[in-house]
Structure 1
Amino acid sequence: MNKKIIFAILIAFGAFAGGCQNKQDNTDKKTETKDVAPKASLSVSTVKPQQTLLHKTINANGNVAAWQESSISAETNGLLLREVLVNIGDQVKRGQVLARFAAATIETDIAQMQANIAEAQAMLTEASSNANRARSIQDSGALSKQQIEQYITAEATAKARLNASQANLNAQNIRLKQTAVLAPDDGIISQNPATVGTVYAAGQELFRLIRKGRIEWRADLTSADISQIKTGMKARITLPDGSSTHGKVRTIAPSVDAKTRNAVVFVDMPAGSAKIGMFARGDFVIGETNSLTLPNSAIVMRDGFAYVMQVESNHKIKQTKVQLGQRKDDRVEILNLAATDANFVESGGAFLADGDSVRVISK
């Protein structure tokens, strides 16, 4: 009887001990589960914001145009264009012959005028002789006063005819010179509508010339920005193919367009650096400033906004919306960065989200 009682007590004690052990094991497992750190989703390298010297600029758009473009036209009327000696893009010098008109008709007219002058000269000689004889005998009474006046008048008429003939000859000589179309200045031929064999009227355009080969960028600036631009200020101009060149402000328009409220700034460009009519973007350097920047690879664009991925002390990501400023080489200005000494994901931020855990790799 006693043995049965002892055996039952031993079985109950064993069951109690087993239950306590199982409870302890479960508690240890729960504790262990709580202590396990979340698994990192990505290994990243970090970078801190840097102070970078940036140029303070004003951006503008505009067209490339000729500094001055001369229109070269026919000076004579009704002549046939015989030859054209230049093409578009040719560089020419002041006084260089660009084209020639047929001069045969003018040369014929000149020969006729020369004959008229010879005839007028002979008539003047005869009239002068008659007038001189009349004057010498006017006191003798051999000729009436009326006859004497007729001889003197004939002499004056002959002089006038000679002068008119000489004037006509000079006019024809001028026309003969005008059959050669000359460059009014050094420059580059930008347009060449002249066609051999065409009869041109006076004033009809034959060529267009970019004077001195000078070109300029005509930048449109708002009323708010125009006051910050000064003559002589430097500008960096970006052309449609991505290349860039530099220019200098020559002058500023004295008025603002009443419709657009924009003013034009005329910027001298190096000759041959761009083509007339090109659209170009540019910026004017108005000062320098030290600004916080991050590498371009650290910027993540989402839904049209810019973000940076800040790595917090617990290795979790904090997605921060930022406003971007200027760019210099591979760095971007951050305008509203509050955590100036924080660590940010250097690259690969597009694969991360707010709250993700990362493993930081030392450089």
Structure 2
Amino acid sequence: MLLSMKKELKLRQNFLNDKILKTLYFGGGTPSILTVDEIHSLIDEVLRYFDFDENIEITIEANPDDLDKNYLKQLSHTPINRLSIGIQSFFDTDLKLMNRAHNASEAEYAVKCAQDFEFENISIDLIYGSPASDMTQWKKNLQKTLELGIPHISSYAFTVEPKTAVHQWIKTKKILPPEENVQNEQFYYMSELLRANGFLHYEISNFALEGYHSKHNSGYWAYLPYLGIGPSAHSYDGTLRRMWNVANNSLYIKHLSEDKLPSEQELLSEKDRYNEMIMIGLRTMWGVSLSRLKADFSREIWDYFDQEIQQKLASGILVVDNGFLKIPEAHWFMADGIASDLFLV
């Protein structure tokens, strides 16, 4: 797989016009199963075709059970300077329900051990609204996060996927389904608590202390071009073209062994680009630039948009602030629904 990824990188080295990378992200699946030598090898390969910005953010996603002392020690000697750890919860009742491989003590140990090896830029994932967790437990989860001094938090509502054990347990009434009003309450409690502790709520699911926002994800939200390497990886040229690789590992390797790119592509229609700009922009504290929207799209689309927002502006669900359309934070829990009301269908 490593050789195939290197070959893909060589074949696609000209996809990005800017040869100075500001971010590099090892994510998707469990990249922490890579040995440190393999990580070094991949970084060296990237440096064959690109240069690194002096303040580059290099992130690796990891599960707590992968981050033992030896691995973190070795990782601290690589250029990686940001960890994104899939904690989910500091309580075993939540972790068992989510079928996570780690337990609560491993979650806390992973953070503390990473800090011992001078990883300061740490992000963790937390899940709120789990049927196994009430408000008291959620408050303790957040308090533990603050006590550990974690500077970035990505937090998502518990969801039930079809054909999973949780779906079956709910169907047979072994557990109760997640309740939207409970998730709403936990979301806003988190937002208020983290704000009071110096966090900036810069995207619906993301909170950061000053200087610790995710540069990589912020690039997606700003519609910047990106190159993805590996099975299932996505790429975007910053304008019209989106590409994605096959998910099947064997097919991915086979294509590259024949010097073929293992990808498909689509050209985004004006409707697609408009819907994405609305969806992404309204999930962030920056909102949607009205001047850019007017410049980038047809008069017909602008007139549709302008008509659709009027009632929401009057009700306060949307506001215009210095030329940007935003959802006030009090309504962020409903952001996806608000944005979808503005979509072209």
- Considering the TM-score relative to the shorter chain, is it more than 0.5? no
Look at both structures and tell me which one has the larger radius of gyration over its CA atoms: 1
Work out which structure has the larger RCO, using CA pairs closer than 8 Å and 6 or more positions apart in sequence: 1
TM-score (ref. length: structure 2): 0.16
More helix by share: 2
